[in-house]
Amino acid sequence: MTKRLVSLVALGCFVGGGLSGVTGEVRAQAVASYPVAAALGQYLIPEKAVEIALARSAAPAAISDGAEVLVLTQGGYVTAVKGGNGFVCLVERAWGKSTDDAEFWNPKVRAPHCLNAAAAKTYLPIFLMKTKLVLAGRSKAEIGRALKAAWERKELPVLEPNAMCYMMSKEQYLSDDDKHWHPHMMWYVAGDSAKSWGANLAGVPVIAGNVPEDRMTVFMVVADHWSDGTPAMH
């Protein structure tokens, strides 16, 4: 595969089985290794301090040290550390992917995100709704239908301009094929808007994928170092 195709597939490995276009052929060949949810305990991180540190590793300390931190419990995500700079850091699990992704139930996935205020207000509710449905024992099909209904009833917020996050953790595990991919930043934009950024074109450093289930396009720019400042090997 070309470098651009590899990058798009890697993006699809976390933010959406619903990515359109070039990833479709590759995704169609995927084998669903995780057809059902694992036991809840496999998704939890037993020590709260460990999860807090992992969540904070999503962004440089200049950001994450002042951020609110959420951790996953048996009852859902709760605030473990109060913040003051508008950012919210958390470790997303595999259900941050689209429901048609083969690794939606992969219990090994740990994806540290540090969301800015706009993303915390308008993107995070989508993931938290998925989490609530997962903890209620819903199937992927039921989760997909619930999301569709919520959008139609306008129960989920429209993405605000400049909604973005940092994903620069050296400890990230995004999928079985891209365990510790690249440090990167992501922007969440409503609708199918890749063309407006000129994304995915030759020589353009911006990678984008449409995620229809979440009614957004995710734009990604790869960074050259991890959140701790050490260089990343590309």
Q: Write out pLDDT tens, residues 116-161.
A: 999 999 999 999 999 999 999 999 999 999 999 999 999 999 999 9
Which pTM does this prediction carry? Answer: 0.87
Residue 42 located in a structural domain: yes
The verdict on residue 184 lying in a domain is yes
The verdict on residue 54 lying in a domain is yes
Q: Is residue 172 domain-resident?
A: yes
Reported as a single tens digit per residue, the pLDDT across 119-128 is 999 999 999 9
Residue 116 tokens read as 């800015």
Within a domain: residue 229? no
List of residues 6+ apart from 154 with CB closer than 8 A:
none
Q: What is the DSSP string of 171-196?
A: T-B--SS-TT---EEEEEEESS-HHH
Q: How many domains does the chain have?
A: 1
Question: For residue 215, is it within any domain?
Answer: yes
Residue 175 within any structural domain of the chain: yes
Q: What is the dihedral of CA 177, 183, 187, 191, to 10 degrees?
A: -10
Domain extent at residue 198: 3-222
Is 72's pLDDT higher than 80?
yes
- The answer as to whether 230 is a domain residue is no
